[in-house]
Structure 1
Amino acid sequence: MEATVSYSKVALAIITISCGLLCLIAYPTMACPLTDRNVLLDFKADLADEDKRLSSWHGLNCCTWSGVGCNFGTGHVSLLDLNGYNLEGDIHSSLFELAELEHLDLSDNYFQGNITPHIGMLKKLSFLALSDAGDANEFYVSLESLSNLVSLEYLVLDGLNISVGKESAEAVGSLRNLQELSMSGCGLSGPIPNSLVKLTSLLHLDLSRNSLLAQIPAWFENVTAHLLSLDLSDNYNLGGDISFIGQQISPSLTRIILSRTAVEGEIPSAIGNVSSLESLHLFNTRIEGKIPLSIANLSKLFSLDLSHNNLRGSIPPSLGSLSSLSYLDLSYNQFNGAIPRTISDLVSLKHLWLDSNGLSGSISLSLLDNLTRLEYLFLSNNHLTVSSDSPWIPQFRNLQALRLSSCNLDRIPPFLVTQYGMIELDLSANRIATDIPSWIWDLTSLYYLNLSCNQLTGSLPSSLTSMTLMYLDLHNNSLEGPLPLPPDAHLLDLSGNQFNGSIPADTGAYLSNSWYLSLSRNNLSGAIPDSICTPELQVLDLSSNMLSNMIPPHLIRKCSSLNVLDLAENHLEGKMPAEWGNLKEINTLKLAGNKLRGLLPSSLSKCHTLQVLDLGNNKLQGTIPHWIGKLSQLHVLVLRSNHFHGSVPRQVIDLSNLQILDLSHNRLSGPIPSNLTNLLAMVNESQSNPNHLEKYTLDGAIYTNKIVMSWKGGDGEFVKVLFILKCIDLSNNNLSGNIPLKMGSLKGLIVLNLSRNHLSGPIPKTLGDMDQLESLDLSINRLNGKIPLELQLLTYLEFLNLSYNMLDGKVPHGGQFLTFGESSYLGNPKLSEIPFTNTTVCNNSSGYDNCTSIETIGVENSDAEMKGWAIGLGLSYSLGFSIVIGILCFNNRIRKRVFNLYDDAVLAVDRCITGNK
C-alpha cells in the first residue's frame, strides 16, 4: 500500500513538472496576433534608434522582442517597457490600439508630439510611466486624457510640463485605484489639488520639484492617513505648520521628504508614533526649536536630515539608540553643547554631518572607533577642539571624506595614513604649523584637498605633478619654493604663500581643465605665460606678485569663458591688449597698480557683462572714452591715479547700476556733469546686491573683490561691505564750476569726495538730502558762502572736511556738527563759532568702519588764543604760499606727496602755537 502511494506521488510530480516545462517552452514561442505585430512595426518605423535597442524587432513572434511582453492566455501584447532606450521621434497613433496593454513605460527617451488624444484608448492600463519621455516643450500629455484609465494603479509623469487647471485636478481624482502618483518636476503651480483627497487607495505620493504654493491644506491629513511615502520637496513656497506630520498620519509611513519647502514650526513629539519611518528629510525648511526626544522611538530610521534650519539646544543623547541610522545630517543649525558620547553607539552610521553649528568642547576622534562603517565625517565650523591620538588606528578603514575646518587642530591626524580610499580632506583654518607629511601625497584616491589658512611650511613635492587632484586649496600658509602643478586640477588656489620663481611656461598643458586658478599674493616674477589661459578657465587671479612684461594678447584670445581676471598690483607694463571683446562673460577686470600706459582700448566696450572695472594706479592717458556708457551692467568703475584729462563724460553718469565711481588723482577738468539723477543705484537708498560684486563663488572656491578707496580722510581697502558701498570720488583733479544742485538727489550715497579741485560757489543746500552720507570731503577748493544749516540733517555723517575754502559765517551747532573739531574747518578764516568736540579719526588699514575717537580742544574766543590762532594762521598761509611756488618745479608724484605733507604741517604748526595736544 505504501509503495503504491509512493509511486502515485512520483507519477503526479512527473506530470506536474512536465506540464510546467511545456508551459515554459510554449510561452516564448507563442506567436502574438498579427495586428499587434504590425502596430509595433509601425511604431518602430517612425523612430530613430541610434543604440540599436530595437534590433530584435523582426520575425513573426513579437512576444520575444526586446521590451515586449505578452499575455499568457491570449497572446496579445500586455507589456511595453522601453525605459532608457534613447529612442527619438513621434509616437505613432496606432500604438494605442494595443487594447490589452496593461504596462506601458516610455521613460527616459526623446519622444515628440502630443499623445493626449489617444492615451485614453488603453482601458486596461494599470501601469503608466512617462517620466522624462521627451523634452517638456515637445512632448505633451494632459491629465484630462487619463481620466478614462480607471484601472490605473501606477502613474509616473516626472519631468513633463503639466499645468494643473480645474479640469486637470478633477481628472486626477477620478483615478480611484491609483496607488502611486509621481509628478516630480512637472511645473505644477498653485495649491495642492483638492482632488487628491479622493484617492483613498494612494500609498505613494511625489509632487517634488514643482512650484506649489500656499499652505498645506487641513484636508491633507486625510491623504497622509494611508500613505507609505510622501515627497513634497523643492516646492520653495509651500508653507504650513509641520505639526501635520504628527497628527492624522499613517503609522506605516516610511518616507517623509519635505526638504526645501517653507514648512515651519517645531518637530512634533508625535513623530515618534510613526514607527515604520525610515527616512525623515527636512533639509532647508523653516523649522525651529529642539529635536523631540520621541525621535528615539524610530527604531527603523535609516536616514535623518535636519540640516540648514534653526534648530537649537543640545543634540539629544537618545539619538544613540537609533541603531539602524546610516545617514545623520544636523549641519547648519544652532546646536550647542558637546557632541554626545552616545554617537559612538550608531554602529550602522556611514554619514555624520554636524558641521556649522555652535558645538563646543573637546573631542577625540577615537570616540568614533565603533563606527566601523563610517565613510563621511564633517565637524567643521563649530567651537570644537578635535584631537587624534598618535597610536590610534581606527576600526573604520573606508573613510572617504573628512572635514575638520576650524577645529583647533595642531597637526594633521596621523590615522589618515590608513585611509587609502580618501577622496575629500578639509583641514583648513586650523593651527597646523608643520610641513605637509609626505604620506598625504600617497593617498592616490584623493581628489579634494583643502589645507588653507594654516601655518604650513616647506615646499610642495615634485610628485604633485603626477597626482589626480581635482581640487587643491593651500591658500594663506607659508609654503615656499617653485610651483609644481597637479595635472588636470579643476581648482587650484595657492594664493597667500611665499612661492617664488616664475610661472611654468607649460602651465596650460597641466591645467587644461582648470576653471579656477589663484596664485595671488606670492613672490612670483617673470612674464605671464601665453599658455596659462584655457577655454575652461573662469577665474584667474595673479594679483599682488612681481610679474612683469606685457599682458599676453594670447591670454585674452583664449580666455573666452573668463568671469574674473585679476592682474592687479604687479609690474606689468606696455599697452593694454586690444582683444578684450573676446571676453563675453567677464564680470570683474582688475589691472590696478601696474605700469600700463596708453589709451583705453575700445574693445572693452564689447564686454557687456562687466560689473567691476578697476584700472587704478597705472599710467593710462587720454580722455575717458564715451563708450564706457555702453557697459550698462557696470557697478564699480575705478580709474584713479592715472593721467586722464578732459572732462568727465556724461555717458559715465548714465550708468544706472553704478555704485562706486572713483576718478580721483587724474587731470580731469571742466564742470561736474549735471545729469546725476541718472545714477539710479546711488539715487536709491536701498542696498543692492549685484551678482559677484562682493565675491564670486564657484563650487566652494571664493574670489573676494577688494577695492582701495579714499574713506574718511585716508585710503582704505574695502572687502566685506563692497555690495552696500555707494561712493563718488572725483578728488585731486582740476574740476571747476559749482557743485550741481542735483548732487543732493543721490540719497543712497555713503561717500562723497570732491576735494582738491577748483570748485567754486556755495555748498548746495540739497546736500542735506543725502541722508545716508557718512563721509563728506569738500576741502581745498574755492567754495564760498555759508555752511548750509541743512547739513545738520545728515545724521550718519562721521567725517567732514571743509578746510581750505573761502567759507564764512557761523559753523552750525546742531546734528553731527557737534562731533567735528577745528580740523574740519582749517583755512576758512571767516568762519566763526567752531564748536568744542571730540574728533573721530579713522584707521583705514582694516577697511570699513574701524574708527577710534581722540580728544581735541575747540577754539575759545579768549584774546590769548585768538592771538595764537592769528599767528598760526599767518604761518600757515606763508608755508602754504611757499609750497605752492615749489610745486611748480616738481613732477606729479612729488606734487601729490607735498599736498599730503602740507596738510600735516599746517595742522602741527597750528596746534603747537595754540597749545593743543
Structure 2
Amino acid sequence: MEVVRVPQSMPIVFALFFLLFQAREFSCCHDTERQSLLKFKRGITAGQLSSWVGKDCCLWPGVGCNNSTGHIIHLSLQNIGLEGPIPHQLRNLSNLRVLDLSSNSLLLLDNSRWLSRLASLQHLDLSYVSFARGVKWLQALILYQCIIPDHILPSLPHLNFTSLATLDLSYTYFNSTLPGWLLNLTSLEFLYLGGNYFSIPFPDAIENKVFLKEVDLSYNHFIYGDPSVRLEEHCQLQVLSLSWMNMTGDLNQFKGMFSGCIRESLRSLDLGGNQLNGSLPEWLGEFKNLESLLLFSNSFSVSQKAWEAFQALLTWFFEATLSMNNIEGPVPSSMCRMTNLLAVDLSRNHLSKELPNCWQDLTDLAVFDMSSNNLTGVLPSTVYLGSNEFTGGIPSSIGHGLPHLKILILRSNRFHGHIPPQLSNLSSLQILDLSHNSFIGTIPPTFGNFSSIRISPKSLGKIVDVGSYKETILLVTKNQENFYDKLLSIMTTLDLSDNNLSGQIPEQITSLLGLWNLNLSGNHLTGEITHKFSQLIELESLDLSRNQLSGSIPPALSNLTFLSHFNVSYNNLTGSIPSGNQLNTFTDPSAFMGNPFLCGFPLNNSCDKVVTDEPAYKNEIKTHNHDAIWLYISAVLGFVLGFWVVWGVLLFSEASRHSYFRVVDDFFDRVYVSVVLNFRLIKRKVWNIIENKVSLSCVVALCECLFCKTLSSSSSPEFDIVHYAPLL
C-alpha cells in the first residue's frame, strides 16, 4: 500500500487558515459601530433583536456591511415590533446608506437632528412610524448631486416643509421651471439650487425669504423678473451667487433691487460668467461689508469714478475678481491700500502701462493675476503674472515678504538675466511658471528647497482658500494648454521651458517629492539624466526635450507609476530605451526621436546594430586612449630619468666628468682623422683612375667600399693610421 506523505508545512498552512477564519469574527465589524447598535438595542423594546450577540455585528439580522471596509451601510428593521423613542445612537453609523424602520407603529421619532449626521444616507423609510408632536422634521434637505426624475419635485408639496432651514438641490440636473412650493418656503436660511436647468424668475425666487443667509442660483437659466423688486428686507443675506445664469444688459438696472440693508449685510457677490455690460456701477461701492466681488467673464468697463467708488471698500476687501472683461487703462495705485487683500484677478482684460510699485504691504496676498493684458515696463519688486510685455530681470527681493504666495506665473514675457535663487524662499509656492522668456545661466540648486513641493500635494488642501474665489488658471501640462480649477489643490508645477538656460540639471530638484509637472524643455541643458528622478513618485509629466542632454535614459524611471507624459526628444541620448512598468506605455516614437544613438521600441532602429557597434567603438577608443596616455607618461619619465642619470653623475662627480670628456674628445679625434685620411685616399684614387682610364662604375664601387671600411675602422679601438698606408 502506497503511503501518501504530507509535507511538513501542511499543518502550518491549515493552522494559518484556521486562525484567519477565526480572526474574521474580530475584523469584519467595527467595534464603535457595534457598540452603537447595542445601545440602540437597549434603548427600545424589541424581542426580535435578541439574536444581536457575538463580536461580528455584520452577521446580525438586518445588518449589512461593506465587504471591503467592514462599515455598516445597511440597516433594515421593518415590522419587527420596535417600541419607544428611536435612540439617537444611530447617528454614529456615519457610513449608513439605507435605513428602514418602517411598519413599526409604536416607534416614536421625537427628534430629527440625529438624521443630519448620516451624511452617506441614500434611502430612508420611516413609513408608519409615529412622529412626536412639535418635532421639527426636515430642518435640512440635502440632495446634492442626486439624479432626481422630473416628476419627483412637483409631487412634494404635500410634505410638511414649514421648518425647513436648509435646502440643497444643487447639481441634481432637474430640468423644469422652479416648483411653486419652493417659492413658499419662508423659513429658509440656506438655499442652494446651483447646477440645474431651472428656469428661475429672479428675484422672485428669493423674495419673502427674509431669513436667508446664503443663496446660490448659479448655472441655471435666468428668467427676467421685475427689477423694481427690492431686497432691502434681506438684512441677513451674506452670500449671493448669480453666476452663469445668462443674465444680460446693464448692471445699473438692478440698482433698486440691491438697496436697503442688504448693502450692510452682503459679504460676497458673484455675478461672473454672464453677459452684463456697461461701466461698472458706482453703487457697488456702497456695500459696506463686501469682502468678495466676482465679476469675471462679462463685458464691464471701469470708469475713473467707479475706481474711486471702490476705495470705500478697501480695509474690509479680501477678494476682487474682474477677469475676462473690457477693463482698460492702468491699474490704479489705490488697490495697493487694500491691505487685507488675499486675491486679485484682473487677467484677460485690456490693462496697459506699468504696474504701480506699491504692493509691499500686501503680506497676505495669495493670488495676484494680471496675465493676458497689455502691461509694459519693468517688473516691480512685488509679484505679478504673465502674458504681458514685461522686460528686465526678476528682482531678488521677490523671494521675501510674500509668505502666502502659492502661484507665480511670469510666462510669455520678455524677462532676461539670471533666475534669482531667492525664489526658493517663497515657502508656500506651489506653481512656478517662468516659461517662454529669455533667462540665462543655470537652474538655481536652491530650487530643491521649495517647502510646499517637498511634500505630497495631497496634504496641501485647497490651493487658494479665499472666500468664493474661482480657482481657474491656464497651465501648460503634458504639452497642452488647459484651464485648471479644482485640480489645482493637488497640482505642483515647475515650468522653466523655452529659455536659454544652460549647465546640468541640479540634483537638488529631485528633493521635490511632491512635484506633479516638471518641464525643462527648449533650453541648452547638458549632462546626464540622473537616476534620482525616480524619487519623484508623484510626477505625472516630465519634459526634457530640445536640450543637449547625453548618456542613457535611467531604467529607474520605470518606478514612476503615475507618469503619463514623458518626452526626451532632440537630445544626445545614447543606448537602448529602457522598458518596464510605466515606460512600456510610451508608444509614441516622437517622444524619443532626434537622438541618433538611441534605439529600441518605440523607435524603428534596432539595438542589435546601434548598441553593439557603438559601445564597441567606444571601448576601442577608450583602450587606445588608455595606451597612448601610458606611452606618453613612460616616454617623459624615461627622458627625465636618463637625463638626470647622465648629467647628474657628470655634475656631482669630478672623476666621471674628466673621463667622460676624455672619451668624447678621443671619439671626435678619431672621427676627424678618419674623415681626413679617407678624403685624401679618395682624392688620390680618383686621379689614378682618371689617369688609368678606369670606368666610372669602378670609381663608384671603390668609393663605397672605402667609405664602409672607414666607418667600421673608426669605431675600432685598434685604429692605426698605418693600416691605411698601402692605400696611400
TM-score when scaled to structure 2?
0.64
User: Which whole-Å CA distance do the structure 2 matches of 1:248 and 1:392 have between them?
Assistant: 33
Q: Aligned AA for 1:599?
A: V
* Higher RCO, 1 vs 2 (CA within 8 Å, ≥6 residues apart): 2
Note the residue ranges of structure 2 that are not aligned, 5 or more in a row.
1-30, 45-54, 62-69, 608-728
Paired residue for 1:480? 248
**Count of aligned positions:** 538
Find the partner of 1:309 among 94, 105, 111.
Answer: 94
- Give 3-state SS (helix, strand or coil) of 2:335's partner: helix
* Cα pair distance change 1:574/1:763, threshold 3 Å: same
Find the partner of 1:730 among 496, 502, 511.
Answer: 496
**Contact 1:821–1:834 (8 Å) recurs in 2:** no
Structure 1 residue 797: deviation in Å? 2.8
Find the partner of 1:494 among 265, 271, 283.
Answer: 271
Whether 1:531 aligns to 2:300 is no
Paired residue for 1:330? 115
- Give 3-state SS (helix, strand or coil) of 1:669's partner: strand
Find the partner of 1:563 among 339, 342, 346.
Answer: 342
Matches within 5 A, 1:115-264: 243=35, 246=38
Whether 1:822 aligns to 2:592 is no
* Cα pair distance change 1:339/1:584, threshold 3 Å: farther
User: Which whole-Å CA distance do the structure 2 matches of 1:267 and 1:490 have between them?
Assistant: 48
User: Which whole-Å CA distance do the structure 2 matches of 1:399 and 1:792 have between them?
Assistant: 56
User: Which whole-Å CA distance do the structure 1 matches of 2:240 and 2:309 have between them?
Assistant: 20
Structure with greater helix share of residues: 2
Structure with greater strand share of residues: 1
Q: Aligned AA for 1:652?
A: L
User: Which whole-Å CA distance do the structure 2 matches of 1:460 and 1:730 have between them?
Assistant: 53
Deviations 1:305-340 (A, max 9, x none): 838921232343257765563534524532234655
**Contact 2:178–2:199 (8 Å) recurs in 1:** no
* Cα pair distance change 1:457/1:615, threshold 3 Å: farther
Larger mean CA deviation between 649-658 and 435-444 belongs to 435-444
Whether 1:742 aligns to 2:518 is no
User: Which whole-Å CA distance do the structure 2 matches of 1:572 and 1:682 have between them?
Assistant: 32
Paired residue for 1:575? 354
Structure 1 residue 648: deviation in Å? 0.8
- Give 3-state SS (helix, strand or coil) of 1:330's partner: helix
**Contact 2:40–2:87 (8 Å) recurs in 1:** no
Structure 1 residue 479: deviation in Å? 1.7
User: Which whole-Å CA distance do the structure 1 matches of 2:40 and 2:87 have between them?
Assistant: 23
Structure 1 residue 709: deviation in Å? 1.9
Paired residue for 1:361? none
User: Which whole-Å CA distance do the structure 2 matches of 1:398 and 1:465 have between them?
Assistant: 23
User: Which whole-Å CA distance do the structure 2 matches of 1:395 and 1:790 have between them?
Assistant: 64
- Give 3-state SS (helix, strand or coil) of 1:317's partner: coil
Paired residue for 1:275? none
Deviations 1:142-192 (A, max 9, x none): xxxxxxxxxxxxxxxxxxxxxxxxxxxxxxxxxxxxxxxxxxxxxxxxxxx
Paired residue for 1:404? 169
- Give 3-state SS (helix, strand or coil) of 1:565's partner: strand
Find the partner of 1:641 among 412, 424, 443.
Answer: 412
**Contact 1:320–1:346 (8 Å) recurs in 2:** no
Find the partner of 2:326 among 543, 546, 552.
Answer: 546
* Cα pair distance change 1:339/1:429, threshold 3 Å: farther
* Cα pair distance change 1:321/1:535, threshold 3 Å: farther
TM-score when scaled to structure 1?
0.52
Matches within 5 A, 1:428-443: 428-433=194-199, 435-436=201-202, 438=204, 440-443=206-209
Identity %: 31
Paired residue for 2:283? 506
- Give 3-state SS (helix, strand or coil) of 1:767's partner: helix
Paired residue for 1:96? none
- Give 3-state SS (helix, strand or coil) of 2:96's partner: strand
User: Which whole-Å CA distance do the structure 1 matches of 2:493 and 2:475 have between them?
Assistant: 9
* Cα pair distance change 1:861/1:394, threshold 3 Å: closer
- Give 3-state SS (helix, strand or coil) of 1:306's partner: helix
Note the residue ranges of structure 1 that are not aligned, 5 or more in a row.
1-238, 253-263, 271-285, 354-375, 605-612, 837-857, 863-917
Structure 1 residue 444: deviation in Å? 4.9
Whether 1:671 aligns to 2:463 is no
Paired residue for 2:460? 690
User: Which whole-Å CA distance do the structure 1 matches of 2:250 and 2:92 have between them?
Assistant: 42
**Contact 1:639–1:663 (8 Å) recurs in 2:** yes
Whether 1:623 aligns to 2:415 is no
Structure 1 residue 716: deviation in Å? 2.2
User: Which whole-Å CA distance do the structure 1 matches of 2:156 and 2:535 have between them?
Assistant: 69
Deviations 1:111-140 (A, max 9, x none): xxxxxxxxxxxxxxxxxxxxxxxxxxxxxx
- Give 3-state SS (helix, strand or coil) of 1:506's partner: helix
Whether 1:710 aligns to 2:476 is yes
- Give 3-state SS (helix, strand or coil) of 2:482's partner: strand
- Give 3-state SS (helix, strand or coil) of 1:715's partner: strand
**Contact 1:433–1:456 (8 Å) recurs in 2:** yes
Larger mean CA deviation between 487-496 and 724-733 belongs to 487-496
Q: Aligned AA for 1:621?
A: T
Larger of the two Rg values belongs to structure:
2
* Cα pair distance change 1:552/1:775, threshold 3 Å: same
Structure 1 residue 554: deviation in Å? 2.0
Deviations 1:333-371 (A, max 9, x none): 322346555589676442415xxxxxxxxxxxxxxxxxx
- Give 3-state SS (helix, strand or coil) of 1:616's partner: coil
* Cα pair distance change 1:321/1:571, threshold 3 Å: farther
User: Which whole-Å CA distance do the structure 1 matches of 2:473 and 2:105 have between them?
Assistant: 50
Paired residue for 1:515? 291
User: Which whole-Å CA distance do the structure 1 matches of 2:285 and 2:170 have between them?
Assistant: 31
**Contact 1:351–1:377 (8 Å) recurs in 2:** no
Structure 1 residue 591: deviation in Å? 2.2
Structure 1 residue 497: deviation in Å? 1.9
* Cα pair distance change 1:391/1:301, threshold 3 Å: closer
Paired residue for 2:433? 662
Structure 1 residue 380: deviation in Å? 4.1
Q: Aligned AA for 1:504?
A: P
Whether 1:382 aligns to 2:146 is yes
**Contact 1:565–1:590 (8 Å) recurs in 2:** yes
User: Which whole-Å CA distance do the structure 1 matches of 2:549 and 2:336 have between them?
Assistant: 46
Q: Aligned AA for 1:317?
A: S
Structure 1 residue 504: deviation in Å? 0.6
* Cα pair distance change 1:792/1:525, threshold 3 Å: same
Paired residue for 1:774? 540
Structure 1 residue 395: deviation in Å? 7.2
Paired residue for 2:628? none
User: Which whole-Å CA distance do the structure 2 matches of 1:460 and 1:574 have between them?
Assistant: 42
Q: Aligned AA for 1:823?
A: S
Matches within 5 A, 1:822-901: 822-828=589-595, 830-836=596-602, 858-859=603-604
* Cα pair distance change 1:339/1:543, threshold 3 Å: farther
* Cα pair distance change 1:657/1:513, threshold 3 Å: closer
